């Protein structure tokens, strides 16, 4: 008997200026708060976080700057500090790796975590999952957490000031929700849960198709607009719901190719969603979709500033590098979700077809 466990965040605050509710949210959870995140994330929010906590008379204990991967050592180090300092609530900022590290450490010592993403690279802010890496940067596993964030604060004004490639990464990862879900789900086995996951993932695709170009423009200008708010909802809320409803089993060849890229030193530092975004295109080619469909997907990827050619990912990838990446992708658990077995040659041909079509003038 399989029990389906759905873990939602307790509260979600979204929209422009949502950060103004952070202090009240934290005040309900604890009286001693620590800000946790990467260097850029902390720099972009610390002043507002401290002010918010001050308004609610929550003690601000300063910040813990994460430097490494979301790996077991870093999670344990942070958990030890949370216990040692008597932290009662964690405000986690940054991107997926920082948020995942903070969520995992919070669960380890039973301290509530409020996520305040400063970049929109993944839906990590809402999920009860941590993507763990080895300390050398190679992907390790998708680690399920006992509970999700106590609250999520998605502030479009804050996210409009983040570098564009992070929004592009979020768009790539969120498009995968639809492309991969469609590729791996069994339409003959419709249930309410799979239907919600499917509908949410298709909504993600529709919103991104409609709003991606204008949302990217908003980030280029550093000024939030409706399009940015809509794609942020897709990245965090609807994509997050897809992950939660499908219990993590929503990934396929695009994420497997990402896993492959993490085996190569030249590509492992590139944002998850940018590599997944390229992987989406290869997935469509693996499914033998028509040139017309691929060209539409390529245009959407370009509008979202997602790489459409290996040269845009790394200019000096050798044939041996590509073989290593493909071999690793074939071993990835995500690849096992595909309806048919994928061979090295098929993956190579899929990548070559995407690259050829990427050069077609439309």
**223-226: long-range pairs with CB below 8 Å, 24+:** 223/160, 224/16, 224/156, 224/157, 224/159, 224/160
Q: Which is nearer to Zn ion, 63 or 198 (CB)?
A: 198
Q: Which is nearer to Zn ion, 63 or 272 (CB)?
A: 272
Tell the smallest beta-carbon distance from residue 54 to Zn ion (Å).
Answer: 36
Q: Is 133 annotated as a binding residue?
A: yes
Q: Is 127 annotated as a binding residue?
A: yes
Q: Which stretch binds Zn ion (CB under 5 A): 91-99, 167-175, 205-213, 218-226?
A: 167-175
> Is residue 100 part of the contact set for Zn ion (CB under 5 A)?
no
Q: Which is nearer to Zn ion, 60 or 131 (CB)?
A: 131
The residue sitting closest to Zn ion, measured at its beta carbon, is 173
Q: Which is nearer to Zn ion, 272 or 353 (CB)?
A: 272
Extract the tokens encoding 200.
């949410």
Q: Is 272 annotated as a binding residue?
A: yes
With beta carbons less than 8 A apart as the criterion, state whether 67 and 137 touch.
Answer: no
Q: Are strands 113-117 and 32-37 parallel, antiparallel or unpaired?
A: unpaired
- Round to whole Å and give the CA distance between 289 and 165: 27
Q: Which is nearer to Zn ion, 173 or 287 (CB)?
A: 173
Tell the smallest beta-carbon distance from residue 52 to Zn ion (Å).
Answer: 30
Residue 237: enclosing H or E segment and its boundaries?
none
Only one residue has tokens 């497997």, namely 256
Q: Which stretch binds Zn ion (CB under 5 A): 65-73, 158-166, 169-177, 198-206?
A: 169-177
CB atoms within 10 A of CB 304: 26
Q: 197 φ, ψ to 5°?
A: -60, -45
With beta carbons less than 8 A apart as the criterion, state whether 344 and 286 touch.
Answer: no
Q: Is 203 annotated as a binding residue?
A: no
- CA distances to 17, 180, 309 from 279, rounded to whole Å, are 34, 10, 10
Q: Which stretch binds Zn ion (CB under 5 A): 63-71, 139-147, 172-180, 290-298?
A: 172-180
Near Zn ion by CB under 5 A: residue from 173, 229, 259, 334: 173
**Binding site listing for glycerol:** 173, 255, 272
Residues of the shown chain interacting with Zn ion in the complex, contacts defined by CB under 5 A: 173
Q: Which residues are annotated as a binding site for NAD(+)?
A: 96-100, 127, 129, 133
């Amino acid at each position: 008997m399989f029990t389906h466990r759905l873990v939602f965040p307790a509260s979600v605050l979204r929209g422009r200026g949502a950060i103004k509710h952070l202090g009240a949210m934290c005040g309900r959870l604890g009286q001693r708060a620590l800000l946790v995140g990467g260097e850029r994330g902390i720099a972009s929010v610390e002043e507002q976080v401290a002010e918010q906590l001050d308004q609610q008379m929550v003690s601000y204990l300063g910040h813990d700057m994460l430097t490494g991967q979301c790996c077991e050592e870093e999670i344990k180090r942070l958990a030890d500090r949370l216990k040692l300092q008597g932290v009662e609530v964690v405000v986690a900022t940054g991107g997926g790796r920082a948020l995942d590290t903070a969520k995992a450490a919070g669960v380890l010592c039973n301290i509530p975590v409020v996520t305040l993403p400063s970049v929109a690279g993944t839906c990590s802010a809402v999920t009860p999952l941590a993507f763990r890496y080895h300390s050398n940067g190679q992907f390790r596993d998708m680690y399920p957490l006992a509970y999700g964030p106590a609250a999520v604060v998605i502030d479009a004004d804050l996210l409009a000031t983040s570098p564009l490639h992070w929004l592009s990464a979020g768009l790539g990862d969120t498009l995968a929700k639809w492309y991969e879900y469609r590729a791996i789900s069994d339409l003959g086995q419709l249930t309410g849960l799979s239907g919600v996951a499917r509908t949410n993932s298709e909504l993600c695709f529709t919103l991104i198709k409609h709003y991606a170009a204008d949302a990217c423009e908003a980030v280029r200008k550093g000024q939030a607009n409706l399009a940015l708010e809509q794609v942020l909802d897709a990245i965090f809320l609807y994509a997050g719901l897809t992950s939660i409803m499908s219990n993590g089993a929503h990934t396929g060849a695009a994420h497997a190719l990402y896993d492959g890229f993490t085996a190569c030193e030249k590509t492992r530092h590139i944002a998850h969603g940018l590599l997944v975004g390229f992987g989406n295109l290869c997935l469509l080619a693996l499914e033998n979709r028509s040139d017309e469909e691929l060209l539409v997907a390529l245009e959407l990827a370009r509008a979202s500033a997602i790489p459409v050619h290996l040269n845009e990912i790394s200019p000096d990838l050798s044939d041996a590098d590509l073989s290593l990446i493909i071999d690793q992708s074939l071993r990835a658990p995500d690849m096992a979700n595909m309806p048919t077995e994928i061979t090295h040659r098929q993956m190579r041909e899929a990548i070559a077809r995407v690259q050829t079509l990427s050069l077609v003038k439309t």
